[in-house]
Amino acid sequence: MVSVIIINYNTFSITCACIASVIKHTIGVAYQIILVDNASPNDNADDFLIQFPSITLIKSPINGGFAKGNNLGIQHATGSHILLLNSDTVLQEDSITKAYKQYKALDGVGALSVRLIYPDGKLQHTARKFRSISHELLDVARPVLLLLPYKKRANLMMNQYFKGDYNTFTDWVSGAFMLFDKRILDKLPNNILDERFFMYGEDQLWCYQFHQLGYRNFYYADTEVIHLHAASTSKEKQLQLLKRFLELEIKIMEYRFGKGLYLSVFSLILKAKENFRYTVKRIALKVFGIQIR
């Protein structure tokens, strides 16, 4: 059985669409849906039970964030496998069964995610490498990378260099659709997912911790799920979040390597690169009214 954990915070209609798509398409594997409402001030959590009486509803007294909400849901999970599923995702086929069967067919897998797309069909780059100084320098030297054959370039860099068009092991995958064996939690501190981040960055952190335990994370391209991606967040706020992401990346690197020369050099390179990216995106939004992904 797969225990599907969905977190709701003030997105009643979007969350309902997600739940409905799971119920409609999931036919090949037993599952339960656990909905955790993170103390939404604008939603009446009990309304979910009116539309979906079969789900397990957990009403958190506080908004503890994404990680804490998922851990709260996992406490009520009876499945052998856990699927963390963002409330702003929509299944188009039996993606849960396909992902579960692929997971079971592999050995030593930590987290598995699938091909995620925007509503317009464009790919979301969700299979990534752990950051390093060499990786960031290679990213700056993009013209050189373009001389490499596609698969060699994709396997080396992942992220935007990878078209998401084949199955592959990768360093980390998106938490918007993250499937893993519940037994992995027994090997983690306090037997729960790390809660140090309130929101954003958790998926990379968890995948790194799975990696430390000896597991490999996997990107499964043979099924795709629509991910609205920040559906309730304005374009301006999404732009501001880039700075927050930069802070989280540095915190994760500090967790991996500690404080020292490596972290200092890495931070300088990353800040220069990401601040340039932020400036370009801000100009595009302010002057041309377009959002560069």
| Tens of pLDDT, residues 244-280 | 888 999 999 999 999 999 999 999 999 998 887 777 6
Say how many C-beta atoms besides its own lie within 10 A of residue 35's C-beta: 24
For residue 284, pLDDT over 70 is answered with: no
Check residue 200 and give its pLDDT.
Answer: 86
Kindly tell me if the per-residue pLDDT of 54 is higher than 60.
Answer: yes
Closest by Cα among 109, 88, 87, 90 to 100: 109
Res. 232 pLDDT band, cuts 50 70 90: very low
pLDDT in tens, 174-210: 999 999 999 999 999 999 999 999 888 999 999 999 9
Q: Which residue has the tokens 């592999």?
A: 106
288 pLDDT band, cuts 50/70/90, is low
What's the whole-number mean pLDDT along residues 38-61?
95
What is residue 234's predicted lDDT score, i.e. its pLDDT? 54
Sign, Cα dihedral of 153, 244, 173, 217: positive
Instruction: Name the pairing type of β-strands 81-85 and 2-8.
Output: parallel
User: What's the CA gap between 255 and 8, in Å, rounded?
Assistant: 29
C-alpha 15: how far from chain center: 17
Give the percent of the chain with pLDDT over 70: 91
Kindly report which listed range (109-123, 135-149, 222-236) carries the lowest average pLDDT score. 222-236
Residue-level pLDDT at 67: 96
- DSSP for residue 220: E
Nearest to 4 by CA among 142, 176, 132: 176
Q: What pLDDT score does 97 carry?
A: 98
> Domain limits of the chain?
2-127+164-227, 235-288
Could you tell me the sign of the dihedral formed by the alpha carbons of 64, 67, 164, 226, in that order?
Answer: negative
Which residue(s) pair with 33 in the sheet?
4
Strands 168-170 and 81-85, bridge-based pairing: unpaired
Beta bridge partners of 286: none
Mean of the pLDDT values across residues 91-119?
Answer: 97
**Distances from the Cα of 106 to the Cαs of 126, 203, 265, in angstroms?**
20, 20, 37
End-to-end CA distance of the chain: 36
pLDDT for the residue 241: 73
Cβ–Cβ < 8 Å for 155, 168: yes
- This prediction has a pTM of 0.92
- Looking at the domain 2-127+164-227, which fold is it? Spore Coat Polysaccharide Biosynthesis Protein SpsA; Chain A (3.90.550)
Q: Rounded to an integer, what distance in angstroms lies between the CA atom of residue 172 and that of residue 212? A: 12
What mean pLDDT is predicted for residues 231-252? Answer: 74
Q: What is the mean pLDDT of the chain?
A: 92
